[in-house]
Structure 1
């Protein structure tokens, strides 16, 4: 257990030095939060009630879908994975340590938004702190599971960037964080339900932690875990 915790800590320190992860987990989300927080609160006074949730969804999605996959492909898409096999280390270990490291980074970023939003933009804090952070942890885990699958299954960086954007952009536009989903046509409203951002946003809102918002996320993460295990077993057999 001590070796595993050391691996997570080491990966976390390495990620701090990674410009890619630093940009996608901190710089871009917090910069967008600073700009859009001012715009949202100026245009719509009611935005303060969901500003923390909407900016959190954007930040988590950015880090999980655009930041984590390139880090994974650097290991599992190259000869580095042979080092794991040569030393008798499970291929799962690298993915798990990167997953947990990214989880910690995203949680720190979300806590910054949680603390700063009420001070800077008079945003309203969630009614229940435990339920909010429980919902947040679930949403981060589900989003990172998708990023993990992208990093494992996509073989080159160019395709990875394109596919990540194809998932990221609709997640932001159709999840309700930019504008109410009631304004969307039924077709796009239903398409938005495919992405975890929609359910994560709803679950983090007041009174949103319920089975109706939880089961889609449970299904998504279950599918992602199966796909990740399948890919790692294929890599191990090569």
Structure 2
């Protein structure tokens, strides 16, 4: 247990010095929030009621789908994996420690948005902070699980970047954070329902039944955990 906690703490320190993580978990989401927050609320004053949730979905998706996978490739697509095996370190340790470290960084970024949005743009705070942050934690975990699959599955950095963008862009465009999904054709509504961003946004804004929005996220998380386990087993056998 002490070794595991040490590994997580070490990964946290390494991530703090990582320019890639700094950009994807802090700079890009917060810069987009600073620019688009004013635009959204100026064009549509009603956006103040969902500004925190929409900017949070964007930030979490950026960090989880674009920031995490390359970091995992650096471990499992390089000689670091051999070092793990040679020293008897479980391969899952790298994934779990990076998952937890990224979770904390994304949560910090979301808290910054939560605090600054009402001050800078007059955004409305969620009616139930406890329910909101509980929903946020679930959404972050699910998003990171998708990023974990990408990082374990794709070994080539160039291909990984392309695949990450293919998942990231439609998940943002079809989630409802940019415009109402009611404006989309039925085909795109169905397509958007396969992405965690759609359900995470609905869960955090309270759009519809809480349980109806929660179970797709839990189903995606369960499937992702199983798939990550299978991918790690395959890496162990290599």
CA distance in 2, matches of 1:120, 1:88: 50
TM-score by length of 2: 0.98
What does residue range 37-76 of structure 1 map to in structure 2 within 5 Å? 37-76=37-76
How far off is 1:227 after superposition? 1.1
- 1:67 is displaced (CA, Å) by 0.1
TM-score by length of 1: 0.98
Q: 1:125-166: per-residue Cα shift (whole Å, max 9, x none)? A: 000011000000000000000000000000200110000000
Q: Any conservation in 2 of the 1:128–1:206 contact (CA below 8 Å)?
A: no
| 1:168-224 Cα deviation digits (max 9, x unpaired) | 000110000000001001110110001000000000013657110011111111111
| Partner in structure 2 of residue 161 of structure 1 | 161
Q: 1:93 to 1:150 in 2, by over 3 A?
A: same
Runs ≥4 residues deviating over 4 A:
none
Q: 3-state DSSP class of the match of 1:126? A: coil
Tell me, in whole angstroms, the C-alpha distance in 2 between the residues paired with 1:93 and 1:198. 30
Q: Which moved more, 1:205-214 or 1:85-94?
A: 205-214
Q: Identify the range of structure 1 (220-229 vs 58-67) with the bigger mean alpha-carbon deviation.
A: 220-229
Unaligned runs of 5+ in 1: none
Aligned Cα RMSD in Å? Answer: 0.9
Q: What is the CA–CA distance in structure 1 between the aligned matches of 2:210 and 2:77, rounded to whole Å?
A: 38
Structure 1, 168-177 or 213-222: larger mean CA deviation = 213-222
Deviations 1:69-117 (A, max 9, x none): 0000000011110111111110000000000000000000000000000
Q: Tell me, yes or no, if structure 1 residue 13 matches structure 2 residue 17.
A: no
In the aligned structure 1, how far is the partner of 2:237 from the partner of 2:194? 32
Please tell me whether residue 101 in structure 1 is matched to residue 101 in structure 2.
Answer: yes
SS in 2 for 1:145: helix
CA distance in 1 between counterparts of 2:190 and 2:233 reads: 34
Deviation of the 1:226 alpha carbon: 1.1
Aligned residues: 238
Mapped pair 1:120 → 2:105: no
Q: Deviations over 1:42-81 (max 9, x none)?
A: 0000000000000000000000000000000000011110
Deviation by residue 1:9-53 (Cα, 9 ceiling, x = unmatched): 110110111111110000000000000000001000000000000
Q: How many angstroms apart in 2 are the aligned matches of 1:87 and 1:108?
A: 33
Give the Cα separation in 1 of the matches to 2:209 and 2:96: 27
